Amino acid sequence: MPAIVTDQFRILNANNFVESVENTNNSYYVFIGLSNPTGAPTLAGYGRTSDWNSSDKTPAPTDSFSYRAHSGDTMMFGKKISSANIRRIIRRVDWTSGSRYEIYRDDYSATNQSPLTQANRLYDANYYVLNSDFKVYVCIDNGSSGDNVLGNISQDEPTFTDLEPSKAGNSGDGYVWKYLFTVSPSDIIKFDSTEYITVPNNWSTSTDSQIRAVRENGNSDVNLNQIKHIYIENGGSGYANGLGQEVDILGDGTGGKARVDVQNGKIVDVTVSAGGKGYSYGIVDLGTLNSNVSAINRAKLVPIIPPGLGHGSDVYSELGTDKVIIYARFDDSTKDFPIDTKFAQVGVVKNPTKVGTSIVYTDTTYSSLQAFKFTTVTGTPIVGEEISQVLTVSPNVGKVASGFIASYDKETKVLKYFRDRSLHFNRTTYDHTDYTGISTTGRIYQFESANTANDIEGKSSGFSGSIDVSFSKGTDNPTGNKLINLGVNFNAGLSESEINKGSGEIVYLDNRPEIVRNSRQKEDIKIILEF
């Protein structure tokens, strides 16, 4: 049976997501991970490819439990998403002098496409604009009619903040605009994009005086002027000339009236004199004007029904906010995000849990890496390379613990690492095939820091590091004049992840060519989610 998922369902899903993020019972994080998308020099690795860094060959993520679990294994750092870092967004349509814009209509469809963009739905039409001062307006009238379907060229930039629809200037371009909101300076700085406009959060409850004024002005219980425009699809012929002839707007609402101008027997202009309220459809009653006009020559006037209660009452529905933008900045302000790391995955995870508990993690940042604190290091560890340690403590004597380097801080001698299934799968087939030595490499073994423990060694660089078994704190002062917060707490030279491995729900995942960080670099990550 024919069916559709409506635009309003998409908008609802976007709203629900934003509300879920803003709910204090939830913790959403933007995370980065996978420091070795091509593996170590001799290891392709599970889910990785040798040409990962070719932009046209970077593999698309797989939506499976297995792939998401692996992404959880290679996750490194997370930054919490606050209400200040998430916004609903719409397509960016800039006002430009000399351009045409479409009017808001409630009936764009596949059989009634918008005239300029041939959009099958309202939200794909260019019926709103962003001006040079980051104010957003809806186009109520552009001078269009059945005789001028494309409308006029816009010459006057709207700049006003009046609540009622108004002309922007004195050029006579025929445009009437309805002011909705101004993008805040902080949103411009944080979310600025050539493609999207941010829409304020919490429109229905905002106490901002300007938003509240627009919202209440669009409420039919407050402002009775609901129908704002009547489109002349056909001006007819044979009408008696006259200006300002008032007629009723019929339909399921009440109180609507319009003034009709007739010249040379044709209706040339219609002005809404009273918008009324409660209309979901309207019919202009030409009444006595039709008395001497044959049926075939009668005019067709189309009242444009405003969204919801009225323009501005619900901008999410009016503008079609079925997309959301998330912002996160990663910099060296915290040791949770070292300057020397690399990453090739970006994602969003919901409600990871604090390590060793079932409690939802709530801190601003987290590290999902484990770490060593070394006393001495010979050679130079390489980010992404495989590390190993031959174990000396019973019952795992002779077994091998392994991992991948995510970061190494030469000053503090702290090495952070992660472990994933590529370390334990068959090194020839990279799958579940049994292989020689599986008893010592197919199982995950924990690194050890006993006095008898062997050094940590790098498979590619050949570096060797001795674990500082006496180190059990979260700060270090290696030079004697600067106390450094290490971001995690150590016990006998070892540190655990701040979240439980694989905890939380990964709701978004993006693979990209590897990004290599440096000491001067900040990563501003903007994620667009479309519902």
In the chain, what is the greatest distance between 2 CA atoms, to the nearest angstrom?
109
Coil, helix or strand at residue 436? coil
Across the chain, what does the average pLDDT equal? 92
Residue 437: pLDDT band by 50, 70, 90 thresholds? confident
312 contacts 177 by C-beta, under 8 angstroms: no
Q: Greater confidence, 431 or 391? A: 391
The pLDDT value recorded for residue 45 is 54
In sequence order, what are the residues at sequence separation of 6 or more whose Cβ sits closer than 8 angstroms to the Cβ of residue 67?
47, 61, 509
The pLDDT value recorded for residue 188 is 94
Alpha carbons 173 and 171: distance in angstroms, whole number:
5
Q: Tell whether the model's pLDDT for residue 490 goes beyond 70.
A: yes
Q: Greater confidence, 300 or 219? A: 300
Coil, helix or strand at residue 163? coil
Q: Tell whether the model's pLDDT for residue 311 goes beyond 70.
A: yes
The pLDDT value recorded for residue 46 is 62
DSSP characters for 113-150? --TTT--SSGGGS--EEE-TTSEEEEEEEES-BTTBTT
Lowest mean pLDDT across 20-29, 63-72, 293-302, 335-344: 335-344
Domain assignments of the chain as residue spans, ordered by start: 87-318, 369-496
**Percentage of the chain surpassing pLDDT 70?**
96
CA dihedral over 180, 182, 187, 189, signed as positive or negative: positive
Q: Tell whether the model's pLDDT for residue 139 goes beyond 50.
A: yes
- 236-291 confidence digits (pLDDT tens): 999 999 999 999 999 999 999 999 999 999 999 999 999 998 899 999 999 888 88
Lowest mean pLDDT across 40-49, 123-132, 458-467: 40-49
CB atoms near residue 395 (< 10 Å): 6
Q: Tell whether the model's pLDDT for residue 43 goes beyond 60.
A: no
